[in-house]
Amino acid sequence: MKGNMYTLKTPEYVFAYSHILPFHKGACSRIHGHSGIIRISVTGNKLNEFVVDFKILKKEVEKIVDEFDHKFIVGSLDCEIIENEGSDLITIIPDGYRQLTLFETDIVLIDGHSTAEDISEYILDKVIENFIMKYGYRNVKKVGIEFGEGPRNRIYLERDINI
């Protein structure tokens, strides 16, 4: 044991999404879309031969990408959300006067706002729960996400893991 720490990085996954940031003072207060970019990184020492099973990690990230692809991402703090009893339609009211009615399967509801910051946190929570915790990777010390709202505007979020 040499104390080596390795960082694995998944490929970049690209997906299309739309959202609205009603609190924004500029163009983001209108409905618009992005090509989202996700890359997950996992830092830890080797457990036997590898840090983690890279194939399973990629599969888990692909599942999350599929969940988001071509969806409308709604932040719980951005919009009033009305479920229509006996129907699979959801009504979203971003700012008190506009209304969108969409199929439940067309949206992803996340906590907070549909900003790069809160989308990153939602995805990171899922990776930790569905991969790190599920497979009990006690050797993993950090998990990170690089998230792009398009190719130019990127954010990096990293969390220490201690299981």
Q: What's the closest the beta carbon of residue 21 comes to Zn ion, in angstroms? A: 6
Distance of closest approach, residue 10 Cβ to Zn ion, in angstroms: 23
Which one, of 105, 163, 101, lies nearest residue 134 by Cα? 163
Closest approach of Cβ 69 to Zn ion, in Å?
16
Tell me which residue has its CB nearest to Zn ion: 28
- Taking the complex as a whole, the smallest distance from the CB of residue 149 to Zn ion amounts, in Å, to 6
Q: Residue 106 burial by CB count (10 A; 0-12/13-18/19+): exposed, middle or buried?
A: middle
Q: Total residues contacting Zn ion (rule CB under 5 A)?
A: 1
Contacts of 54 (CB under 8 A, 6+ apart): 8, 10
120 contact partners, CB below 8 Å, separation of at least 6: 145, 147, 155, 157
Q: Which stretch binds Zn ion (CB under 5 A): 28-36, 57-65, 71-79, 81-89?
A: 28-36
Which lies closer to Zn ion via its Cβ, residue 31 or residue 157?
31
Find the part of the chain contacting Zn ion (CB under 5 A) among 22-30, 52-60, 77-85, 123-131: 22-30
Q: Are strands 100-103 and 107-110 parallel, antiparallel or unpaired?
A: unpaired
Three-class DSSP category at 40: strand
Stretch that binds Zn ion, among 1-9, 27-35, 71-79, 82-90 (CB under 5 A): 27-35
Q: Which residues bind Zn ion (CB under 5 A)?
A: 28
